Structure 1
Amino acid sequence: MSERSPAPGGLELVQSLVNTLALDSGADSLDTAEGRARFGLGEGDVAGARELRESLRVALLAHAGHPAHREVTPLGVLLAASPLLVAVDAADGSAVLAAADQGPLRSRVAAAIAQALVEGTWSRLKACEAGDCHWAYYDRSPAGRGRWCSMQVCGARAKMRRYRAK
C-alpha cells in the first residue's frame, strides 16, 4: 500500500505483521502458506497471530493519536508471557534485548518492541489514520506528526474529502 521504506531494526517485523491484512480489500496474507512461512507460523498459529496483529494495530493507532478500530486483547496482556533476555556479543560486547525463545511470534515481537523502546523508535511506528487503511508505517517526519501511510494516497483522499465537504 505505502511507498514508505520499512521500519528500522526489529520494528520491520511488527510493521510486516500488521500489514498482513489489507483492510480495504480484506486480503490476509496469513491465509496463504507463503504468508504464514514468512513469520514461521503453522496453520494452528494463525488465530493467535491475528489476535497479536490487531492488538499491535490498536497500539500503532494510539501512537498516531487515533482511537482503537475495534476492541482487542491489550497488547501488554498478550506480551506478558514472552520472556526476554539480554544477548551480549562476545566479540564486541554489544548487547541487545532478545526473545528467550526465537520460535513464538509473540516472543519475537516482544523483543522487537523492547529494543525499539531502548532505541526510542517504538512510538514512531504508527497506523494510518484512514479508516479503510490502518496500514502500519514508520513516521520519519521531523516532528513525528505523520498521519497517513502515504501522503499521495490516503493523505490526498482525506484532503479531497475535506475539500468536497466545504
Structure 2
Amino acid sequence: MSGERAPAPGGLALVEELVNTLSVDTGDDRLAAQFGLSGPALAEAVELREALRAALLAHAGHQAPAGALDTLNGLLATAPLTVRVDAEGTAALVAGGGLADRIAAALAEGIAAGTWPRLKACAAEDCQWAYYDRSPAARGRWCTMSVCGARAKMRTYRSRS
C-alpha cells in the first residue's frame, strides 16, 4: 500500500521488503520473483513472511494469530549466525545463505539497535503493509494516515452517526 514512507533502517529493510511481497488487498504476491525462490524454499519463505507479519501486527498492538510466533521461532531457530571481526576490529553478524538466515541476522541487528519494535504491520485488515514507525512516541497504527488512517477514522466517525 504505502509508498510514502522511507524504508526501515539497516537490516530491517529486508524484513519489511519480505513482508511487503504480498499485497493483502489484491492478493498480488511477488515473493517468488522478488527473491528468486521456488519449490520448498518458496513454501518456507511464505511461512516465514506470514509469521513475520504476525509479529509486526503484535508490535502494532494486535494479537498474533495462534501458532504464528511459534512458527517464526521454529524457522529462526535453525539460522546459523556468526560474529565476524574485521581488520579494524569492527564486529558484524554474518548469516548463512538462506532467507531465514538473513532475516534472523536482520532481526538481531534490529534488536541490538532497539529498532525492531518500531517495525509494524498496518492496522487495516485489508492492508497489513509493513512499515517502520518513525513517530516520536512509536504509536503509529497505519502505513499511511492519508489512506488507511483516513479510512479508519471515517468508519469510526460514521459509526457514531
Smaller-chain TM-score range? over 0.9
| 2:84 aligned partner, one-letter code | A
**In 2, Cα distance between equivalents of 1:61 and 1:75:** 13
TM-score by length of 2: 0.92
Map 1:72-151; keep pairs closer than 5 Å. 72=68, 73-90=70-87, 92-99=88-95, 101=96, 103-151=97-145
Residue of structure 2 aligned with 1:53, choices 46, 49, 52: 49
Q: Is the 8 A contact 2:48 2:75 kept in 1?
A: yes
After TM superposition, which residue ranges in structure 1, 4 or more long, deviate above 6 angstroms?
A: none
Q: Is the 8 A contact 1:13 1:109 kept in 2?
A: yes
Unmatched tracts of structure 1, length 5 or more: none
**In 1, Cα distance between equivalents of 2:35 and 2:9:** 22
| 2:118 aligned partner, one-letter code | R
- Structure 1 residue 6 corresponds to structure 2 residue 7: yes
Q: Is the 8 A contact 2:122 2:131 kept in 1?
A: yes
| 1:134 aligned partner, one-letter code | Q
**In 2, Cα distance between equivalents of 1:135 and 1:70:** 20
**In 1, Cα distance between equivalents of 2:145 and 2:84:** 39
**In 2, Cα distance between equivalents of 1:43 and 1:8:** 31
Cα RMSD (Å) of the superposition? 1.4
**In 1, Cα distance between equivalents of 2:48 and 2:154:** 33
Q: Is the 8 A contact 1:124 1:139 kept in 2?
A: yes
Count of matched residue positions in the alignment of Structure 1 and Structure 2: 158
SS of the equivalent of 2:117 reads helix
| 2:90 aligned partner, one-letter code | S
Shift in Å, 1:69:
5.0
Unmatched tracts of structure 2, length 5 or more: none
What is the percent sequence identity of the aligned residues? 61
| 2:85 aligned partner, one-letter code | V
Match of 1:62 in 2: 58
SS of the equivalent of 1:14 reads helix
